[in-house]
Amino acid sequence: MTFPHDLEQITQANASGRPPVVFVHGLWLLPGSWDRWAALFADAGYAPVLLGWPDDPDTVEEAQAHPQVFAGKSVGQIADHLADLIGRLDRAPALVGHSFGGLLVQILAGRGLAQATVAISPAPFRGVLPLPFAALRSSAPVLGNPANLHRAVPLTYDQFRYAFANAVTEDEAHELYSAYCVPGAGKPIFQAATANINPWTEAKVDSGNPARGPLLVITTDHDHTVPPAIAQASYAKQARNPGVTEIVAVPGRGHSLTIDAGWQQVADTALAFLCRSR
């Protein structure tokens, strides 16, 4: 389903004449988690577009009141929804995604839909083999119950603290949990976890497509949800592409690196790469 806010942003981007940049969030977040990034990129001359997943509520409060809207969403369904919206832009956008958004932007780039792409702590795809304990523990709130495949799964504060906010203070972790955390679809977690044993998985990337465009992977050393071994393995698969492929490690950060107090360091890294790739 397409929503008026998505179409409004696309119309504004087309009318601006500026190069569009599309931001894609991951599980347990909403498009508004990119608001500060959008302002920074707009100041740099881009037309930012913050696209939602199908049925995303507008606010954290709405999401918490109606968690069922997230249930059952699959990687393929979300990727197709985003591809349809991106196809309405007058020119191929830069793509920036975090976590499962980082996987989704790689899927879209593999379809030849991106001018350039930044994948931040990206969820793994088929062919990415490392499974560090921290990643398994972070996904346990979903994978621990097979019924969660078709459910929306909220995180408790302690689960969020471990999976996202382990590298910030306790006070900031509480602030991030209150401001940003929403229930998330369980299905993508199961799809990523079984990607290497399911030849028909939707969690796959055409990393060899020569039309993929330049790609940057951003990783960090304290990330529990996507530990550096996973990000590095994703980079290794992508580095076989004939296009420019780079990886940058931002030290001392956790999975909340796009929303916590140090967000601008990550945003500046992404922006510099995209400006060089125009």
Note the pLDDT tens digit of each residue in 68-110: 999 999 999 999 999 999 999 999 999 999 999 999 999 999 9
What pTM was computed for the model? 0.97
Q: Which H or E run contains 12?
A: helix 4-16
pLDDT of residue 4: 78
Q: For residue 164, what are the domain limits? A: 4-276
Q: What's the whole-number average pLDDT of the chain?
A: 97
Q: The domain spanning residue 111 has which CATH number? A: 3.40.50.1820
Q: How many CB atoms lie within 10 A of CB 266?
A: 24
DSSP codes, 187-233: HHHHHHHTGGG-TT-S----TT-TTS--EEEEE-TT-SSS-HHHHHH
Note the pLDDT tens digit of each residue in 250-269: 999 999 999 999 999 999 99
What is the rounded average pLDDT of the residues 169-192?
Answer: 98
The total domain count for the chain is 1
pLDDT of residue 3: 73
Residue 35 has pLDDT above 60, yes or no: yes
What is the rounded average pLDDT of the residues 188-207?
Answer: 97
What is the rounded average pLDDT of the residues 148-168?
Answer: 98
What is the rounded average pLDDT of the residues 171-200?
Answer: 97
pLDDT of residue 1: 53
